[in-house]
Structure 1
Amino acid sequence: MFFHGTSKVNDKGHLEIGGVDTVKLAEQYGTPLYVYDVSLIRERARGFKKAFDDSGVKAQVAYASKAFSTIAMVQLAEDEGLSLDVVSGGELYTAIAAEFPAERIHFHGNNKSKEELEMALQHEIGCIVVDNFYELELIQSICETINKTMKVLLRVTPGVEAHTHDYITTGQEDSKFGFNLQNGQAEKALLQALEFNRIELLGLHCHIGSQIFETTGFIVAAQKIFDKLNEWKNTFAFESKVLNLGGGFGIRYTNDDHPLQAAQYVSEIIAEVQKQVEKYEMQMPEIWIEPGRSLVGDAGTTLYKIGSRKEIPNIRKYVAIDGGMSDNIRPALYQAKYEAVIANKVLAETEETVSIAGKCCESGDMLIWDIPLPKSNSGDLLAVFCTGAYGYAMANNYNRIPRPPVVFIENGEAKLVVRRETYEDLIQMDLSIKAKINN
């Protein structure tokens, strides 16, 4: 059975998460419904932090909030002593509203606006990850105007791209993100940052990919970065106080996925950084990483109510649900694959292979193709696993479908942390073109 965290089958044959029956959750909050196993998020966060603590290496584990950003999730990250990675003014605003410690906020993005940077400076966040020359100059200009300084990392592209089991050493040179490490751009950015009197350069950042199941890519990236840092040490007397090796640590969406434990990712990254430090006789930098999906992905389950069926003899059986690409666009965008169960009859015998269709008016709105399930009826509850990352975060109102609510489950208690959108919410920004006539 494909379960994560506290998920199990209870004595009624229902899927249970954190001690709460999913059938009861659907009755109370409706469907579609995002359900998060809070204890699993805590377990994942503590796994990364403990790996660094056990090594004695100074580090920051920053939650990459683009995976799932709400006030409650940001507060949970603070509870676990994480730092926070934001990539927009909206994510920064959410962090501020959640009263997250500003000194532990890192701001990413390839096109930060003047207004977003002013917000970051106004709230005195901990670090800005600079992505391009325009941004570097803009930060200096804003800091001069308001008489402040800002700590920054330079995002570099080391020429390493890693996805699942494959990695190549040229793909990332063509990227919309960062300064190229090999063609002189990164060195030019380094010199400019060192020259600017309102910028405190902490070090370098890189991100090599996502859903990574091995450590080779991180090791190769670290080697390339340290080769360049050695040049800069000898030429410019510059040493990196911080090295941020990004995130991208994989999770298990299906039984074909085989991610590593947090401790293995961390221990091998630390070992390589220490090896390079000794090789080039440098100071040991503080190591930062940015797990997002690996903290929340498999902690999330989406509940749907099954509606209509369509059977095409000798071809396919379609089972339709009351959500789809409006609450999980990943299958349509990336052909992402998921596992699912009928939550109110988990132990029932598998009788048919069906394809799960979303309700949006698009032929591409297919959540799962060809999954073996028990025979389902209208009103049954479908639970789709591992939807905690980039489900709610990428939810939309296509076809004017309201976005689902979010519930946190911990120790047998359910807490609503995002309410369901209403039809009234959908039109609250709309303006009528029909003039009102005053009698």
Structure 2
Amino acid sequence: MNKFGTRSEVQPVTHIDEAAVKDLLAEFGSPVFVLSEKQLRRNYQYAVRAFRTRYPRVQFAWSYKTNYLNAVCRIFHQEGSWAEVVSGMEYDKALLNGVPGNRIIFNGPHKTREELRRAAENDSLIHLDHFDELYALLELAAELPRRPRVAVRVNMDTGVYPQWDRFGFTYENGQAWNAIQRIVASGRLALVGLHCHIGTFMLSTKAYAVAAGKLCDLALNCRNTLNTPIEYLDLGGGFPSTNSLKGAYLPGTDTAPSVDEFAEAITSTIQSCGFRPDELPLLILETGRALVDDAGYLLGTVVANKRLADGRRATILDFGVNLLFTSYWYDHKISPAGDFSHHTEETVLYGPLCMNIDVVRESVSLPLLNPGDQLVVHKVGAYNMTQWQQFIHLRPNIVLLDAQSRPHLVRQAETLEYLQQLEQVPAHLQAVNLP
């Protein structure tokens, strides 16, 4: 912005890495998700460097729920990441992706008895969420040849509200310490870690310092009171990407702390809590969104334009909230993929669904786009490919660009045959005879 007004920030995006957008759309159809392997590896290596230059023992565990495409998971596993899963389905995916059982962290509030048994037999790290789960595992442990390795998930007041107290045991009311004492007193479980996940898209580094301090307090009490040293502290995930939240005054690039800032807050707290250098616990991070969001793109095409009753310009796209779930809380950056008019207008971007809630952007200043024009939506790598829906339209291809920008189809577009393969029609409904 200057004294002459606001200059348009719209710039054409013709390539992702070195791959032409028009070529990708021509080969794989519209819409299509595109992931950059180069960016995924860069993000991971930067995050690891940020923590390991500040703390001697660090391990990342890829958050499967953020994006559990096998190709994405295997990139992070090749880089050295463990797996962090929150369901039996994700646990099985991690095993199929070649992750050893003792390198899988099993989180989540719902683990069946059979899933607990499998995780224990595979020597996985089981993070306990509530007392009922603790009691179930204690029963199972009596039948197992070795003690299951467990951690206690802790929720706490970090000064960020509303407090995430749905998951785990509460620190402030003594519930977490109660759970710890029961585990140690039982003799059936091996308490090896403490875990927290204080929220999602967290913009406060101070909150992580508070969380790290409270986990350290519990760990030191375990050592001093229960003679049980804690092997690791898991600070969970929640680091934000640089997407812009709806209603935010400033863009995400200006408000999201860097991974370096989070690393400084967490590691300096742990190192100042009273551990001897030789007993510093392993620090585990379950970072998801911050590693994958900016490596993902959604390419699509303009379907039509129209004027709404109040005179606003509306543009209909061939993708909507069925694919771009995060458009409910982000104002995604959207760029034209080719030449465009420099005349801009505030526009509502709708998807193709026959639903009034199918709004990709409620208001965005864009050039006057025509049917057939192509668009690029930025920073869509987190959650959209796990929370997308088959609704009205089939889900599209997903493409990975490798280090040489060569495209690889990593998930095929759905077909009607695929959609219907699990359906069964009762015999009395086989014939349809319309009058």
The letter of the residue matching 2:290 is S
Following TM superposition, by how much is the alpha carbon of 1:349 offset from its aligned partner in structure 2, in angstroms? 1.8
Verify: 1:340 aligned to 2:334, yes or no.
Answer: yes
Following TM superposition, by how much is the alpha carbon of 1:18 offset from its aligned partner in structure 2, in angstroms? 1.7
Alignment match, 2:400? 408
Following TM superposition, by how much is the alpha carbon of 1:233 offset from its aligned partner in structure 2, in angstroms? 4.1
Alignment match, 2:261? 264
- In 1, the alpha carbon distance for the partners of 2:321 and 2:410 equals 22
How many residue pairs were aligned?
Answer: 413
Verify: 1:432 aligned to 2:425, yes or no.
Answer: yes
- In 2, the alpha carbon distance for the partners of 1:56 and 1:371 equals 43
- In 1, the alpha carbon distance for the partners of 2:304 and 2:133 equals 51
Say which SS state the counterpart of residue 395 (structure 2) adopts: coil
The letter of the residue matching 1:185 is Q
Task: Within 5 Å, give how 1:375-414 maps onto structure 2.
Answer: 375-399=368-392, 401-410=393-402, 411-414=404-407
1:219 to 209, 216, 224: 209
Verify: 1:329 aligned to 2:325, yes or no.
Answer: yes
Conserved 8 A contact 1:77-1:84: no
Following TM superposition, by how much is the alpha carbon of 1:407 offset from its aligned partner in structure 2, in angstroms? 0.8
Following TM superposition, by how much is the alpha carbon of 1:313 offset from its aligned partner in structure 2, in angstroms? 6.2
Verify: 1:102 aligned to 2:101, yes or no.
Answer: yes
Following TM superposition, by how much is the alpha carbon of 1:235 offset from its aligned partner in structure 2, in angstroms? 3.1
The letter of the residue matching 2:118 is M
The letter of the residue matching 2:268 is A
Q: Which moved more, 1:383-392 or 1:263-272?
A: 263-272
The letter of the residue matching 2:131 is F
Alignment match, 2:3? none
Shift of the 14–230 alpha-carbon distance from structure 1 to 2, 3 Å rule, reads: closer
- In 1, the alpha carbon distance for the partners of 2:86 and 2:151 equals 14
TM-score normalised to the size of structure 2? 0.89
The letter of the residue matching 1:129 is H
Conserved 8 A contact 2:120-2:149: no
Alignment match, 1:164? none
- In 1, the alpha carbon distance for the partners of 2:71 and 2:325 equals 23
Alignment match, 2:4? none
Conserved 8 A contact 1:110-1:176: no
Conserved 8 A contact 2:35-2:381: yes
Say which SS state the counterpart of residue 217 (structure 1) adopts: helix
Deviations 1:155-210 (A, max 9, x none): 0012226xxxxx35xx43x6220001121211221112113334211121011112
Task: Within 5 Å, give how 1:37-436 maps onto structure 2.
Answer: 37-122=36-121, 124-160=122-158, 167-168=160-161, 171-172=162-163, 175-254=165-244, 256-257=251-252, 258-277=255-274, 283-312=279-308, 315-332=311-328, 335-345=329-339, 348-399=341-392, 401-410=393-402, 411-435=404-428
Following TM superposition, by how much is the alpha carbon of 1:119 offset from its aligned partner in structure 2, in angstroms? 3.4
Conserved 8 A contact 1:14-1:23: no
The letter of the residue matching 2:167 is F
Shift of the 145–234 alpha-carbon distance from structure 1 to 2, 3 Å rule, reads: closer
The letter of the residue matching 1:105 is I
The letter of the residue matching 1:353 is E
The letter of the residue matching 1:310 is K
- In 2, the alpha carbon distance for the partners of 1:219 and 1:87 equals 25
Conserved 8 A contact 2:320-2:353: yes
- In 1, the alpha carbon distance for the partners of 2:225 and 2:127 equals 24
Q: Which moved more, 1:197-206 or 1:137-146?
A: 137-146
Alignment match, 1:33? 32
- In 1, the alpha carbon distance for the partners of 2:311 and 2:206 equals 43
Conserved 8 A contact 1:133-1:189: yes
Following TM superposition, by how much is the alpha carbon of 1:264 offset from its aligned partner in structure 2, in angstroms? 2.6
Say which SS state the counterpart of residue 314 (structure 2) adopts: strand
Shift of the 228–146 alpha-carbon distance from structure 1 to 2, 3 Å rule, reads: closer
- In 1, the alpha carbon distance for the partners of 2:231 and 2:13 equals 52
Deviations 1:94-143 (A, max 9, x none): 11222223322111101111232233234x15311111111122223333
Conserved 8 A contact 1:277-1:283: no
Instruction: Point out where structure 1 has 5 or more consecutive residues left out of the alignment.
Output: 1-7, 162-166
Shift of the 217–238 alpha-carbon distance from structure 1 to 2, 3 Å rule, reads: same
The letter of the residue matching 1:315 is G
Shift of the 233–101 alpha-carbon distance from structure 1 to 2, 3 Å rule, reads: closer
- In 2, the alpha carbon distance for the partners of 1:196 and 1:305 equals 60
Conserved 8 A contact 2:15-2:21: yes
Deviations 1:343-390 (A, max 9, x none): 133x65242221110122221110112111122111111211111001
Instruction: Point out where structure 2 has 5 or more consecutive residues left out of the alignment.
Output: 1-9, 245-249
